[in-house]
């Protein structure tokens, strides 16, 4: 069988050429990095869990009319998605102060914000994904003003919906990062939600205990990383028997 062509390898995913023009395959790795690649590790089973978690979140968002790149899950670690030209921005939504935001403003993590705040970072590893303003984005042409308006509107909807969804399963959506891409439907260009939404890209705290169920457990060497991801998957109802890779037959006594 001819080996399919790899188009791109990122820190947590590999993108392969898809079966049809306009599609690509997203492969979810177990690799984890933090602090712009300074910290590296592996979270066993993460790719499998993120594949499922992102599938369910993208599918639900699609059902409320948010257009996403997601087409279908292919197997444990892969999903078929529309090929999109990624807008080089990390769009961050913050509902509570945490992480770099809490540090920047010297706030205690978990402090509620007066309202949800959207921030943008320029996706550029060499520069360490710097925080940028709408002025930078439009002046440098990373997105046009109408594209940016569209991105902000979609982001507000996505946050509202996801806050409610997670709230319903006892999880506080503290903050998250999303990415958008451009696709062409005939001659019309559209901005759609791309990349992934998973515990790699969200801060998810248990509503009652504030226990972290996201990548901060890895970033901060807290242990129980895989368990945190697994608990998110379980509460989302996607943790059926088969979420870890098949390891061969087990001897039953
Ligand atoms: P931060 O507090 O470190 O700026 O992160 C804000 C949110 O964005 C948090 O949910 C984690 C997510 N994030 C990513 O998905 N990728 C990144 O490279 C960074 C720095 C944060």
Chain segment 46-68, per-residue pLDDT in tens: 999 999 999 999 999 999 999 99
Answer whether 176 contacts ligand 1 (Cβ < 6 A).
yes
For 184, half-sphere exposure in the C-beta direction (CA atoms, 13 angstrom radius) is 5
Which of 172, 175, 195, 217 has most ligand 1 atoms within 8 Å of its beta carbon, as the pocket-test mutant?
A: 175
Q: How far is the CA of 82 from the centre of ligand 1 (A)?
A: 24
**Which residues of the chain carry a pLDDT beneath 50?**
243
Cα-Cα-Cα-Cα torsion 54, 59, 63, 64, nearest 10 degrees, comes to 10
Q: Which pTM value belongs to this model?
A: 0.94
239 contacts 231 by C-beta, under 8 angstroms: no
* Model pLDDT, residue 231: 98
Cβ of residue 100 lying under 6 Å from some atom of ligand 1: yes
Question: Residue 214 CA: which ligand 1 atom is closest?
Answer: 10
Check pocket membership of 101 for ligand 1, CB cut-off 6 A. Answer: yes
Q: How far, in Å, are 14, 37, 122, 130, 191 from residue 126 at the CA level?
A: 20, 11, 11, 10, 26
| pLDDT recorded at residue 248 | 56
Structure confidence at residue 3 (pLDDT): 74
| CA 201 to ligand 1 center in whole angstroms | 6
State residue 215 phi and psi, 5-degree precision: -65, -15
The pair of structure tokens assigned to 129 is 């994904």
Nearest CA to ligand 1 atom 5: 99
Q: What is the structure's pLDDT at 245?
A: 52
Could you tell me if the CB of 224 is within 6 A of ligand 1?
Answer: no
Contact 37, 134 (CB under 8 A): no
Is the shortest distance between the CB of 99 and ligand 1 below 6 Å?
yes
Supply the pLDDT for residue 243: 47
């Amino acid at each position: 069988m001819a080996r399919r062509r790899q188009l791109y390898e990122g820190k947590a995913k590999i993108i392969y050429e898809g079966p049809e023009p306009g599609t690509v395959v997203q492969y979810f790795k177990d690799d984890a990095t933090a602090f712009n690649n300074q910290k590296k590790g592996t979270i066993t089973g993460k790719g499998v869990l993120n594949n499922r978690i992102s599938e369910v979140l993208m599918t639900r968002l699609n059902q409320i009319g948010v257009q996403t790149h997601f087409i279908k899950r292919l197997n444990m670690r892969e999903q078929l998605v529309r090929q999109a030209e990624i807008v080089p921005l990390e769009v961050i939504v913050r509902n509570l102060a945490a992480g770099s935001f809490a540090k920047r403003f010297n706030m205690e993590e978990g402090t509620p914000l007066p309202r949800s705040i959207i921030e943008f970072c320029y996706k550029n590893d060499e520069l360490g994904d710097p925080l940028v303003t709408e002025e930078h984005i439009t002046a440098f042409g990373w997105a046009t003003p109408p594209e940016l308006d569209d991105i902000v509107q979609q982001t507000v909807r996505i946050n509202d919906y996801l806050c409610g969804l997670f709230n319903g399963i006892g999880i506080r959506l503290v903050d998250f990062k999303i990415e958008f891409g451009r696709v062409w439907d005939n001659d019309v260009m559209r901005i759609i939600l791309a990349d992934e939404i998973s515990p790699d890209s969200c801060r998810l705290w248990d509503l009652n205990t504030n226990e972290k169920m996201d990548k901060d457990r890895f970033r901060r060497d807290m242990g129980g990383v895989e368990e945190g991801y697994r608990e998110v998957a379980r509460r989302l109802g996607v943790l059926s028997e088969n979420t870890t890779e098949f390891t061969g037959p087990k001897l039953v006594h």
